Amino acid sequence: MRIRFQVNGEKPRAAELEATLSEKARALGLETGDGDADVIVALGGDGTFLRTVREFSDLPVLGLNLGGLGYLSSVEERDFAAALERLAAGRYRLSERCMIEANGRFAALNDIVLTREMSGHLTRLDLEADGRFVAHYMADGLIFATPTGSTAYSLAAGGPVLMPDSGSFVVTPMNPHALGIRPLVVRDAVRFVVTARSRTAGNTMKIGVYADGENVLTLDEGESVEIAKSAKTAKLVELEGYDPFGVLARKLGWSGSNVK
């Protein structure tokens, strides 16, 4: 097997760790280099992982965490060597994760986000699902998250956690003006259309559309964007012993009550 490291050079000790891990990989019989590869090893945080998936969309990606929480790059530094050992021994599986896209072109593993481009003002967004009107939102924006992305921005905005195999998306409003507005979980076959509406007469506002944090579109008032499941998928390397519930418990501190 041939592996290629994709490293976030801004992380402290990243270059040093890459050299150490490359030596360890070769000792295990793995080939390393910058050419063709069977598996890409992303060494950084979740941002590094997402950029790697975008750049190497057809290849499996294993995430080694040098960032903060690290949901996608879930292998911690103390386990880096063991991760390479399992990879070399074939003790892993590939998890094919669905992606979401805007206007059939801009695919994201985590989420498509629509948000205001002017601080301090609410957006007005109309949402349709499969041609049916859903709601008129007054909020800072909307997050359309995949199961993989449900533990990212959507979670921070109050959305639920979706399991990777749930076959669903979640639509999470960001700071909605109406207390009754809540996140919405739907099957991932639904096609959404979001239309930007005027905030007040004569007061225009542009809406930014972001795919995994990258600005891909800007909507003027009256313009729409279609959001749907992408034909593309991402392949994540899940090492032997990987447990999505265990990752959530560890990363979110689900340790139960401290009351005795």
As its CATH architecture, domain 100-231 has Sandwich (2.60)
Question: Is 46 annotated in the active site?
Answer: yes
pLDDT at 259: 54
Residues 6+ apart with CB under 8 A from 107: 57, 99, 100, 101, 211, 230, 232
pLDDT tens string, the chain, 260 residues long: the values are 999 999 988 888 888 999 999 999 999 999 998 889 999 999 998 999 999 999 998 999 999 998 777 788 889 889 999 999 999 999 999 999 999 999 999 999 999 999 987 766 788 999 999 999 999 999 999 999 999 999 999 999 999 999 999 999 999 999 998 888 999 999 999 999 999 987 655 556 789 999 999 999 999 989 999 999 999 999 999 999 888 888 888 777 776 655 55
Catalytic residue among 38, 46, 79, 220: 46
- The residue ranges of every structural domain in the chain are 2-91+240-252, 100-231
Of 136, 130, 126, the C-alpha closest to 224 is: 126
pLDDT at 116: 86
Distances (CA, A) of 211 to 52, 143, 174, 181, 186: 14, 10, 16, 23, 19
pLDDT at 11: 80
- Residue 259 is given by DSSP the state -
In single-letter form, the type of residue at position 149 comes to G
pLDDT at 35: 85
Tokens of 117: 């481009």
Residues forming beta bridges with residue 237, ordered by sequence position: 94
Provide the CB-side half-sphere exposure for 148 (13 A, CA): 25
Give CATH for domain 2-91+240-252.
3.40.50.10330
pLDDT at 72: 86
> Do 2-91+240-252 and 100-231 have matching folds?
no
